[in-house]
Structure 1
Amino acid sequence: MARDERIDQLTINDVHAETAAVPTSACMPDVATLRRMMFEKQCEAGRALGAQLEADVQHAREVQEELLFEMLDANKDTPFGREHNFANIKTVEDFKREVPFTTYDDYAGYIYEVMERGTRGVVTTEEIVHFNETSGTMGNPKGIPYTKRMTEVLMGYSGAYTYYVTAQATGDKLAGGRMFTMMESHFNTLKSGITFGSLSCKAIADNRPFLAATTTSPDEAVFAKPGTDTRYLHARFAIEEPDIRDISVVFITGLLDLMRYIEDSWELLVRDIEQGTIDSSIQMDADVRTGLLARIKPNPARAAQLRAIFERGFDEPIAPVLWPNLTVVRSVAGGGFAPYTQRLRRFIGPDVHILYTGYSASEGAFSVPFEIDNPASVLLPRSVYFEFVPLDNPDYEHTLGVEDLEEGRDYEVIITSRSGFYRYKMRDAIRCVGHKGTMPTMEFLFRLDQTVNMHGEKTTEMVLRKVADKVAERMGLDLVDFSVHPDVDHHPARYEYLFEFFHADHASIDLAELSRVTDEELRAGNYDMDYMTADGTFAPAVARVLQDETNLLWRDMRVVRGAAPNQIKPVHIIDNEQKRRFFFALVDSEMEG
């Protein structure tokens, strides 16, 4: 992740590089016993959270207001609280009148003080135990304060509660076997002693002794040194384990990418499993390779099984054959990720459940699933205080509460949280798809800042993604990913699509036809927003194809405004001999090119 000098000054060490591997205790139970113990404990805790949620959603407005005034009272003597008269706020209307809308910049000075000195009561009176790292508009890192209570809410609902929801549909199938996760832990410790990085990474580190006993990926993949080909390690150790029950990934694109890698690289993977080796083409430091080879043993029996499976080909779903007990995939998989989830079915088949993990961000956990295989999630009444602005009729003078949302309408999300953020504009768009009790159920739509805005049309990522999927379908190609840049230097302005297709003869693709279909789909007008402006000043869209041999993967599409292809700057690069992944900087739609 790109870093600025201020963060580097605050950081004293890199935890993942300095913390030694934690050996499994001789007293630790066997895997089956440990998995059952953990499953039962998680389900018990999840059942309690589920009961609380069921009670809360019946009185959503009352619970929300109770949370709001609890936060205002607790923080009335903070600098922000004194400045905005928290002590005298008695009603929701008082709150809206006294407190303006805010963005991260309104808190940056306070946050840096806490990050550097650990000062209490500056941002919030609750103890800050972690700073969640997230990229800013231009890729600069931001630290989002996390209090102990916020951490409990996030970890409780993302962990115990999701196990409980899964168990309601699948019984005790997750009580045995192992879990496959592609989680990796990279975080730092600030001079204040508070950790800085992804909160999930910190949680992984806290549970390090149990990971080796219950998950497939080795320590060298989860707590990887820079330059380690972790995709190889995740794939190799996953396919060697025949009893995987559940798969957990942050974004469904990560699992799809891994399954495609297995399809392309299975011969190398199987050979290494058979011989107990690591192919010389796999990038990692010599000491990492030496440590792994000391523990790896040849496994010709499993290799023979795998070779027989893979030699039958990938025309039928491969995951249920690799892992007959695979029950569920837990991931962000709805909204803009839905097309990738559908493509993943080619590998996992129709019977493996999907647990859509809800709407979370660096600022907190905002919604949770309430049933398996349902992309909708219910907003959490006790997580943050919510306000909403309708996208079709934005009125910031009269924001709506959870009780006001209407099914089928889209809203911008504004939050007030325990971290000390008040009326904070998330710049996220959600759709209300129903209600559970009096609390809305929702689906995430898109980031409001992830738009192209050549002539005020503010075309969203959702529109561009639907176009890309439709183009691939019409051309008979398997879309890996794509990116878009609005070419404002061309007159008139035009969209330029950059596609990567899986297992395609890229040289034989008719670029003129690809461009024609892309332009036709953009102009079809079926995507919630018109492609053409009233004066019709857009030139036809053009399409380019990324060649396989360039090793370019366009992941987690970010829309870059006003930049030529050779000016698009990656903010994070994972570079190895197998693949190079580029993550592009997001440029705010309101900024000049």
Structure 2
Amino acid sequence: MPTIEEELGRRSQLYSLLMPVMSQFVPGLDKGKGMYFLFIKCETKTPGGLLARPVLTSYYKSSHFKDRPFDPYTNYTSPNETILCQDSYQSMYSQMLCGLSQNKEVLRVGAVFSSGFIRAIRFLEKHWALLCHDIRTGTLNPLITDPSVREAVTKTLKPDPELAGFIESECGKESWQGIITRLWPNTKYIDVIVTGTMSQYIPTLDYYSNGLPLVCTMYASSECYFGVNLNPLCKPSEVSYTLIPTMCYYEFLPVHRNNGLSNSIAMPKSLNEKEQQELVDLVDVKLGQEYELVVTTYAGLYRYRVGDVLRVAGFKNNAPQFNFVCRKNVVLSIDTDKTDEVELQNAVRNAVSHLMPFDARLTEYTSYADTTTIPGHYVLYWELTQNGSTTIPPSIFEDCCLTIEESLDNVYRQNRVFDAIGPLEIKIVEIGTFDKLMDYAISLGASINQYKTPRCVKFAPIVELLNSRVVCSYFSPKCPKWTTPGLTQWTNIN
């Protein structure tokens, strides 16, 4: 997305609103620190020479973040150097070490997305013994080779055998339920996004935190930052955001529902003439109506369809407040990836070419974002028919998995390489499984004339039905290729 220097200042202003709002609901946050797991990703350049990088990387590397004046409300356990380390393992290890060594000072914990925070807890499960050794001896693991990280961490790391023993005792227990409140006993809430597709992580967060409040403080995207949550301690299902009018110019395209489906199958980023006539301004939205968000930004986007569907939940004085309903047309998402139906269909089409030599074809398929694993991963359920007698070897299905991953977009492949998403899995189901799926949908009231196989499933009984008929499963054997101009290919070192 195009951006300009002054946009970072505007986004910093929105960040500055978050803690004053939180302090109205949770007093004393200036008396301790926040343990946030924040990361950057590598940069590249466009063919024209412009710098290209994720929006949060731009912010963390800017003077607005690096040179921010001391503020007790934005005092973090992680030194800047650990956040700005491009090596994901070294960054995660050093941030976790700093958070553990200051465990009594931590009053709030979080990350940008729920998936990122859970990934940090999973990292702790794997590496707590090494971390305890560093805390006990006051030394930093030699695997951390970044000089700036080593210097920053060793300034605060002191030998603490008592704390190391305490962490070992807690992490060594059979159950990790409540591990967050056990290791960081003064934590008052978890600051992560749990709306939209991130809501699938709520049960896991509740398990690890013993039900600490889950706080969504702000609403933002790569295109622009939008607004804040003025009632941050509300239930995740009730989160609403008040848009800040100075962030951009907002317009809203009404979403018309037809049998529970939106009025659009494919979502172009530009508006046609009819849609432009339907647009309404921020002051004209109606309570309860759903809208697709359209923005014109200071950085140059004109009437750009963000892809978010919002519902007007109420008003703060005269300012409308919005629930985030969903991303339009997205069927699968684990982290920052957003795979739509067309992209998934094209990827599957590329993969099934591996089956042709065996005279086999794909009869039907659906997908599922499985977040019971850490990290979460895509699961595809395939029903096959085979006319040939030659058995299809496992390596062919593994090739299918990898081909699908290679066919997905750059964001998905980058997340795979950086271990934010696990290997894609194909589950082969018994013949007749999708007939059973249709029968089940009809038993719930679906019309047999209008029934279509869903390309993504989320309803637990349907997932259970599919899993009960799995005959074998296969995983992608390696990470898909992910390259950026001017850089060698990245591989997952974890």
**Normalized against structure 2, the TM-score is what?**
0.63
**Matched residues in 1 for 2:454 and 2:39: separation?**
43
**Matched residues in 1 for 2:108 and 2:190: separation?**
6
Kept in 2: contact 1:276–1:297 (CA 8 A): yes
- Asked if 1:257 corresponds to 2:114, the answer is no
Hey, what does 2:291 align to over in structure 1?
411
Where do residues 373-452 of structure 1 align in structure 2 (5 Å cutoff)?
A: 373-374=233-234, 375-392=239-256, 396=275, 397-448=277-328, 450=330, 451-452=340-341
Deviation by residue 1:143-191 (Cα, 9 ceiling, x = unmatched): x22352x43432222x2211011111112x2112222122234676999
Hey, what does 1:303 align to over in structure 2?
164
Instruction: Give the letter aligned to residue 154 of structure 1.
Output: R
**Matched residues in 2 for 1:531 and 1:488: separation?**
23
What's the offset of the Cα at 1:441? 1.9
Kept in 2: contact 1:218–1:233 (CA 8 A): no
Hey, what does 2:358 align to over in structure 1?
none
Cα 1:163/1:478, change in 2 over 3 Å:
same
- Asked if 1:204 corresponds to 2:84, the answer is no
Kept in 2: contact 1:388–1:400 (CA 8 A): yes
Hey, what does 2:355 align to over in structure 1?
none
Cα 1:437/1:551, change in 2 over 3 Å:
farther
Please tell me the root mean square deviation across aligned C-alpha atoms, in Å.
4.9
Kept in 1: contact 2:137–2:159 (CA 8 A): yes
Among candidates 137, 142, 166, match of residue 22 of structure 2: 166
**Matched residues in 1 for 2:307 and 2:96: separation?**
36
Kept in 2: contact 1:434–1:442 (CA 8 A): yes
**Matched residues in 2 for 1:487 and 1:418: separation?**
46
Hey, what does 1:62 align to over in structure 2?
none
- Asked if 1:151 corresponds to 2:8, the answer is yes
Where do residues 194-273 of structure 1 align in structure 2 (5 Å cutoff)?
A: 197-205=53-61, 206=63, 207-208=65-66, 214-226=75-87, 228-242=89-103, 243-273=105-135
Kept in 1: contact 2:177–2:209 (CA 8 A): no
Deviation by residue 1:171-222 (Cα, 9 ceiling, x = unmatched): 2x21122221222346769999997644544543424366999322244421
Cα 1:523/1:400, change in 2 over 3 Å:
farther
Unaligned runs of 5+ in 2: 258-262, 264-273, 331-339, 346-365, 387-399, 406-415, 417-422, 456-464
**Matched residues in 1 for 2:447 and 2:117: separation?**
32
Hey, what does 2:34 align to over in structure 1?
179
What's the offset of the Cα at 1:357? 2.8
Kept in 2: contact 1:386–1:413 (CA 8 A): yes
**Matched residues in 2 for 1:455 and 1:468: separation?**
12
Q: How many residue pairs were aligned? A: 387
Deviation by residue 1:425-483 (Cα, 9 ceiling, x = unmatched): 22322233333333332233333353214999xxxxxxxxx9847x88xxxx6675232
**Matched residues in 1 for 2:433 and 2:135: separation?**
47
- Asked if 1:371 corresponds to 2:231, the answer is yes
Hey, what does 1:107 align to over in structure 2?
none
What's the offset of the Cα at 1:257? 1.0
Where do residues 273-292 of structure 1 align in structure 2 (5 Å cutoff)?
A: 273-279=135-141, 282=143, 284-285=144-145, 287=147, 291=151
Cα 1:510/1:147, change in 2 over 3 Å:
closer
Hey, what does 2:361 align to over in structure 1?
none
**Matched residues in 2 for 1:188 and 1:524: separation?**
46
**Matched residues in 2 for 1:455 and 1:289: separation?**
40
Cα 1:309/1:226, change in 2 over 3 Å:
closer
Kept in 1: contact 2:250–2:282 (CA 8 A): yes
Deviation by residue 1:239-273 (Cα, 9 ceiling, x = unmatched): 22121112242111111111122123322221232
**Matched residues in 1 for 2:83 and 2:342: separation?**
39
- Please say which of residues 182-191 and 305-314 is displaced more in the overlay: 182-191
Cα 1:518/1:160, change in 2 over 3 Å:
farther
Unaligned runs of 5+ in 1: 1-141, 457-465, 501-505, 553-567, 580-593
Cα 1:545/1:401, change in 2 over 3 Å:
farther
Cα 1:193/1:454, change in 2 over 3 Å:
closer
Equivalent position SS for 1:320: helix
Kept in 2: contact 1:183–1:201 (CA 8 A): no
Where do residues 93-104 of structure 1 align in structure 2 (5 Å cutoff)?
A: none
Instruction: Give the letter aligned to residue 417 of structure 1.
Output: T
**Matched residues in 2 for 1:455 and 1:286: separation?**
39
Instruction: Give the letter aligned to residue 177 of structure 1.
Output: G
Deviation by residue 1:474-513 (Cα, 9 ceiling, x = unmatched): xxx667523266989999xxx9999x9xxxxx9xx99748
